[in-house]
Amino acid sequence: MLGALPCLAVAPAPTTCLRPVRSKLVFQASRACPRRSLRSAVSMKASTHEHHPIPPTVADTKAAFLEGFKRPLPGIYSTVIQELLVQQHLFRWNVTYSYNAITALGVVSIFDQLLEGLPEQDPIFEAFIKALQEDPAQYRGDARRLEEAAGSLGGPENLKPDAEGSEIQKTLAQTAEAIKSGNFLYTRFFAVGLFRLLELAGAKGPKALSGLTSALGVPLERVNADLLTYKNVLSKLQAAKEIMKEFLEREKKKTAQRLAEKQAKQAAQSGESADGKAAEVAA
C-alpha cells in the first residue's frame, strides 16, 4: 500500500473553513463557519466527548493501553505506537471529533502496515483502540466495508461524493457535508484513508487525489504533507526492521559457531580422556 500513487506534488489548496489547532496536523471549524449536528447511517456518529466533561489525560490513555496489552512492545515498534497513541488521543478528545469510517480505514491501514508480520498485531490494535474508548470491531468492520466497496467501483472516477449514489459515495457525501458545515476534525489518519480508497479504486496518478480532495473540501497540500510524513515513517521502520533482521542473523551465526566450537572442544577432550585411559590399561 501507499506505493502506487506518485501523488505528493503539492497543488494550491482549495478555500476551506478549516483552521489548524493544537497541532499542524489538526483542523477544526472556524468560528465563521455555520455549525450543525450531522447524523448518518454510514459509520459517522456524534462524538462521545459530551459524555466525558473531564476527558482522560494522555497518561490515562497510555495506562489503559498498557493494561490492555501487558507484554513489552518490540523496541522498533514501541516509539512509533506510543506517538500514534498520543496523536490519536488528542484527536479523539477534541471537542469537534466524531467517528468517521474513512479515518477508521486510515488507522487500520497504518496498523496493518506498521505491524505487518508481528504475531501480536491484533492484540496491540485492540488495546490501542480500546484505550481511546472506541470499538476495535467497528474500526475493522468499517475498514473492510470501505475496502470492498472501493474495489468494486469500477474505477477511480466513481470515487466521488454523491448523496444518491453507492454506499461509499454516500459516505463521501456525508463527509463532505460535515467538512462544509464545520463539523469535522481533519487528521492524518483521514488522509491515509483517502489514499487507501484511491489505491483500491485503481487510481494511477496525482490527479485522482487532487480531484477527491477538491470534491471533499480538504486542503490537498495538507493531505500530501501528511502522506509524505507517513511514508517516511514506514521507510524508517522498514530500515529498522532490516537492521534488526541482519543483527539477528549475525547473532544466530555467532551462536551456531560458538556451539560448534564448544562441541569440537568437548569432543577433543573426550578423545584425550579416552587415550589416557587406554594408555593406563596398556601399562
pLDDT tens-digit profile of 4-27? 444 433 344 433 334 333 333 333
Instruction: Tell whether 93 is covered by a domain.
Output: yes
1 within a domain of the structure (yes/no) = no
DSSP string, the chain: ---S-------PPPP-SEEEESEEEEEEE-TTS-------SSS-B--GGGG-SSPPPHHHHHHHHHHH--SPPPHHHHHHHHHHHHHHHHHHTSTT--B-HHHHHHHHHHHHHHTTT-TTHHHHHHHHHHHTT--HHHHHHHHHHHHHHHHTSSSGGG-S--TTS-HHHHHHHHHHHHHHHT---B-HHHHHHHHHHHHHHT--SHHHHHHHHHHHT--HHHHHHHHHHHHHHHHHHHHHHHHHHHHHHHHHHHHHHHHHHHHHHHHHHHHHHHHHHHHHHH-
The pTM for the full model equals 0.69
Does 118 reside within a domain? Answer: yes
Q: What is the extent of the structural domain holding 148?
A: 18-238
Q: What is the pLDDT of residue 156?
A: 85
Residue 7 lies inside a defined structural domain of this protein:
no
- Residues 103-112 have pLDDT tens digits of 999 999 999 9
Is residue 117 included in any domain, yes or no? yes
Do the domain assignments include residue 9? no
Q: Decide if 261 is inside a domain.
A: no
Whether 76 is covered by a domain: the verdict is yes
160-201 tens-digit pLDDT: 999 998 899 999 999 999 999 988 999 999 999 999 999 999
Positions in the chain short of pLDDT 50: 4-50, 52
Number of separate domains in the chain = 1
